């Protein structure tokens, strides 16, 4: 258990996924702390028991749970059959990405700013509550969506 009280920040999607998997912020934070103590990066990747538990309990392709400046960050690559269906990456509280397959007119994409992601796609676990900043229609059949998820504060180590 963490010895001092620290405020940790995490997105609503990560909070709902941790809850579904029966995990707490402290458990994940301590596991990341163990990685750092061993001289490894501040991230848990697929193959780590906690990431594998998240994958099993949520059905999502969680590839990374990391920590950066007291923020727990999440990365998901959701395949369908042999292709990627969508990708979700948290970089900071004001910068996250959602990439998905799809074709929409540029004029429709331009009008999505300020709307919830669920207006464009239907990802699970509260990812759809993120607010769209911009949508870029890529020429390879993908949409690149800059989003801002809702962030929550948790006291850890109490």
Considering only CA atoms, which of 38, 33, 79 is closest in space to residue 55? 79
Q: In angstroms, how far is CA 68 from the centroid of its own chain?
A: 13
Distance CA 17, CA 23 (A): 9
Average pLDDT, the chain: 88
- Tens of pLDDT, residue by residue over 92-102, are 888 899 998 88
Pairing of strands 83-92, 71-80: antiparallel
- Tens of pLDDT, residue by residue over 123-156, are 777 888 889 999 998 878 899 999 998 988 887 6
Q: How far apart are the first and last CA of the chain?
A: 9
The reported pTM is 0.86
Percent of the chain with pLDDT over 70: 95
Distance CA 128, CA 20 (A): 17
Which carries the bigger pLDDT value, residue 80 or residue 96?
96
- Tens of pLDDT, residue by residue over 49-62, are 999 999 999 988 99
> What was the pLDDT predicted at 156?
63
């Amino acid at each position: 258990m963490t010895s001092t009280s620290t405020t940790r920040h995490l997105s609503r999607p990560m909070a709902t996924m941790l809850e579904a998997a029966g995990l707490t912020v402290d458990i994940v934070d301590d596991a990341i702390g163990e990685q750092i103590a061993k001289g490894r990066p501040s991230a848990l990747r697929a193959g780590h028991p906690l990431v594998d538990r998240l994958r099993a309990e949520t059905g999502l392709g969680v590839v990374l749970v990391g920590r950066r400046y007291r923020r727990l960050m999440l990365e998901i690559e959701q395949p369908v059959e042999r292709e990627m269906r969508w990708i979700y990456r948290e970089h900071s509280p004001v910068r996250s990405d959602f990439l998905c397959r799809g074709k929409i007119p540029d004029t429709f994409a331009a009008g999505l700013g300020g709307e919830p992601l669920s207006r464009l796609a239907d990802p699970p676990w509260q990812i759809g509550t993120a607010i769209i900043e911009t949508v870029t229609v890529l020429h390879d059949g993908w949409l690149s969506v800059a989003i801002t998820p809702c962030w929550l504060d948790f006291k850890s180590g109490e």
